[in-house]
Amino acid sequence: MSHHKPNPKKSVNLTIDGMPVSVPEGTTILEAARRINVEIPTLCDHPDLHRRAVCRLCVVESDGRGKLLAACANSVSEGQNIVTNNARIVSIRKTIVELMLANHPQECLNCIRNTKCELQSLAERYGIRTTPFQHSALHRRHNDIAGDTMVRDMDKCIKCGRCVEVCQEVQTVRAINTSHRSVHYEICTPYEQSHIESSCIFCGQCASVCPVGAIFEHDQTSAVWEMLNSSHQYVVAEIASPVMAALDSEFGLPPETITKGEIVTALKRMGFDQVYDADFFAELSAKEMISELLNRIQYGGKLPMVSCCSPGGIMFIEKFCPDLIEYMATSKSPQQIFASLMKGIHPNVISVSIMPCIARKFDGSEKLPNKKQIEPDFVLTPREFAGMVRLAGIDFSGLPKTRFDTFTDPTGIPAHNIDLNEIIVKKIVAKGLGNARNVLDTIRRDKCDADLVDIMCCPNDSCVGAENCVINGFLQ
């Protein structure tokens, strides 16, 4: 099994299903096939994770020898002849999927991943309607609902290992583990703890990589509908810009189809009294953060100041680096500013944030100064919001556009009074908590020369924190 990174300086020539392809040395068979639009099925492979070859769905034949290779874990070689699809390979893949289904709950219609489940898609691809294997009598486990944030339904786990790797290797939290062997092998938490008892910091990365409905966000839409249907409640919402792209995906639409104005209209039709642009509160949060940062620089405060894009990052520092809490920014997050300002507009106000980040649902930290602030009453992910849109029978096509409501009196938000042209601030952005751990260690060893360290829970550029918390426009 090769783990070499591609070498762009040397090319390898091979054929895949009779088609010639030239790729950098070290490229996997799976990656090479994708270069020529040959789709090889897989469940354990994920672009942000290492090669594991656990599910074996991606097996291919090489050089007519009949030996099967895992395409996700084997690199190409010069002159290689790969076959990705024949009767034997299809039969093997179909059997693997049938075995998975024999140990999987038959509850697709009420599963949160229905129509967006990778296992379900593979069953449809191979025309599997029934399985020849006896369906196992599943031990129905009680779903672990963690802090009104995430739900674990391990009866649906297909043991691909994605969640284990992202938790242990990428985020370095190690709240998910494996136990036992052979048919008793399972994905679990250390000592079978609940997530709320474990080292979990609710970053949501395990749910983002899960190919089925084993880990997902805790649905709060029923409670929000109850508030909307109450004549005593005044319900307001804020919506973040990345939600639009996520909604396009949820409804199977081309990118940039759904606009903010259409989303505002949809929310108003559902019964929301006011709808605000989350970018406005992000700007207020950035101003407050700048004021605190420049005050520390000017008066010799604790540097570098550490900011986090979500409660997950704050929990990470609280659990793993409690000695660095004094470096944390005490300024309010965009969500806290939104919730606190909304409390002043109506005695019975209910605030709802619509954010593409499961971590923002969690508010379990009490030790840090900025966690004593008011939080939104509910946080909905794009999937939850899309479910509300469908339930309300709203069609975005032809929906008129409505402007956001505006908030004209953001009192209590400090403004910096230092000329930014006269000061250069050095900033470090740590994407993913594994990288954050390394940066925080340099602070502990007094080796970090930055003024601001911005921690993002997500290891990739899709993190909403990139828009809401990083103050690039103000720093050099």
Reference 287, options 197, 416, 151; nearest CA is: 416
- Report the share of the chain in percent with pLDDT over 70: 88
Q: Which of 21, 51, 85 is the last residue of a domain?
A: 85
Is position 1 within any domain?
no
Q: Which two tokens stand for residue 135?
A: 């369906």
Same domain, 49 and 128: no
Residues 454 and 337 in one domain: yes
- Co-location of 272 and 380 in the same domain: yes
Q: Do 288 and 360 share a domain, yes or no? A: yes
> Which residue among 186, 217, 248 closes a domain?
217
For residue 470, the model assigns a pLDDT of 36
Question: Of all helices (H) and strands (E), which one includes residue 10?
Answer: strand 7-16
Residue 340's domain comprises 222-474
Torsion angle, alpha carbons of 201, 204, 205, 207, to 10: 130
Asked if residue 2 belongs to a domain, the reply is no
Residue 158 has pLDDT above 70, yes or no: yes
Split at pLDDT 50, 70, 90, the class of 384 is very high
Describe the crossing of helices 87-102 and 118-125 by its angle, rounded to 10 degrees.
130
Rounded CA separation 358/355 (Å): 8
Helix (H), strand (E), coil (C) string for 297-336:
HHHCCCCCEEEECCHHHHHHHHHHCHHHHHHECCCCCHHH
Residue 291 resides in a domain = yes
Separation between Cα atoms, residue 136 and residue 102, nearest integer Å: 6
The arithmetic mean of pLDDT across residues 184-188, rounded, is 87
Residue 391 has pLDDT above 80, yes or no: yes
Q: What is the mean pLDDT of residues 256-265?
A: 93
Q: What is the pLDDT of residue 193?
A: 82
pLDDT tens digits, one per residue of 175-185: 999 888 877 88
Distance, in Å, from the CA atom of 352 to the CA atom of 228, rounded to the nearest integer, reads 11
Answer yes or no: is pLDDT of 413 > 60: no
Quick one: average pLDDT of 148-164?
A: 89
Report how far apart, in Å, the C-alpha atoms of 171 and of each of 102, 350, 430, 438 are: 32, 33, 11, 11
What number is the average pLDDT over the span 238-251? 89
- Asked if the model's pLDDT at residue 226 lies above 70, the reply is yes
Mean pLDDT of 158-187: 90
Per residue in 112-135, pLDDT (tens digit) is 888 889 999 999 999 988 888 876
475 pLDDT above the threshold of 90: no
Q: Which residues fall within 8 angstroms of residue 22, CB to CB, at 6 or more apart?
A: 11, 12, 13
Strand intervals (E) in 140-263: 144-146, 150-152, 177-179, 186-188, 215-217, 234-239
Bridge partners of 238, per DSSP, are 276, 353
**465 pLDDT exceeds 60?**
no
Amino acid at 178: T
Determine the average pLDDT of the residues in 257-263. Answer: 93
- Is 32 contained in some domain? yes
| Whether 280 and 381 share a structural domain | yes
Kindly report, residue by residue over 275-298, the tens digit of the pLDDT: 999 999 998 888 888 889 999 988
Regarding whether 462 and 328 lie in a shared domain, the answer is yes
Compute the Cα dihedral for 240, 244, 245, 249 and give only its sign.
positive
The highest-confidence range among 62-71, 124-133, 237-246, 442-451, by mean pLDDT, is: 442-451
Q: Are strands 215-217 and 150-152 parallel, antiparallel or unpaired?
A: antiparallel
Residue 419 has pLDDT above 60, yes or no: no
Q: Which helix (H) or strand (E) holds 122?
A: helix 118-125
- The token duo for 253 is 């639409």
Boundary (domain end) residue, out of 167, 189, 217: 217
On whether both 181 and 208 belong to a single domain, the answer is yes
CA distances from 77 to 21, 69, 246 (A): 11, 13, 39
Q: What percent of the chain has pLDDT over 90?
A: 52
Q: Which two tokens mark 43?
A: 């469940």
Residues 107 and 146 in one domain: yes
Confidence of residue 341 (pLDDT cuts 50, 70, 90): very high
For residue 78, pLDDT beyond 90: yes
Count of residues making up the chain = 476
Q: Are residues 248 and 344 in the same domain?
A: yes
Question: What are the tokens at 386?
Answer: 């899309």
pLDDT score of 215 more than 60? yes
123 lies in some domain? yes
- pLDDT at position 411 is 55
**Residue in the structure block whose two tokens are 């190409």:** 76
| Same domain for 464 and 331 | yes
Task: Summarize pLDDT for 300-334 with one digit per residue, the tens.
Answer: 899 999 998 788 888 899 999 999 999 999 988 89
Which amino acid, residue 217?
E
How far apart, in whole angstroms, are the C-alpha atoms of residue 103 and residue 123?
A: 14
Torsion of CA 223, 399, 274, 243, to 10 degrees: 70
pLDDT given for residue 82 in this prediction: 95
For residue 210, tell me if it sits in a domain.
Answer: yes
| pLDDT number for residue 147 | 66
Q: In the structure, how many helices (H) and strands (E) does the chain have? A: 14, 17
Whether 171 shows a pLDDT value over 90: the answer reads: yes
Q: Residues 243, 212: one domain?
A: no
Q: Does one domain contain both 210 and 227?
A: no
Residue 346 lies in a domain: yes
Mean pLDDT, range 458-472, rounded to an integer: 49
Q: Number of folded domains in the chain?
A: 3
Mean pLDDT, range 38-51, rounded to an integer = 88
CATH code, domain carrying 58: 3.10.20.740
Q: Give the pLDDT confidence score for residue 361 in this predicted structure.
A: 86
Instruction: Return the pLDDT at 258.
Output: 93
pLDDT tens profile 349-361: 999 999 988 888 8
Domain annotation covers residue 349: yes
Q: Residue 460 sits in a domain of what CATH number? A: 3.40.950.10
**pLDDT computed for residue 366 by the predictor:** 47
Residue 474 near residue 420, CB atoms below 8 Å: yes
CATH code (residue 151)? 3.30.70.20
By three-state DSSP, how is residue 337 classified? helix
User: Of the given ranges (92-96, 195-199, 318-322), which has the lowest mean pLDDT?
Assistant: 195-199
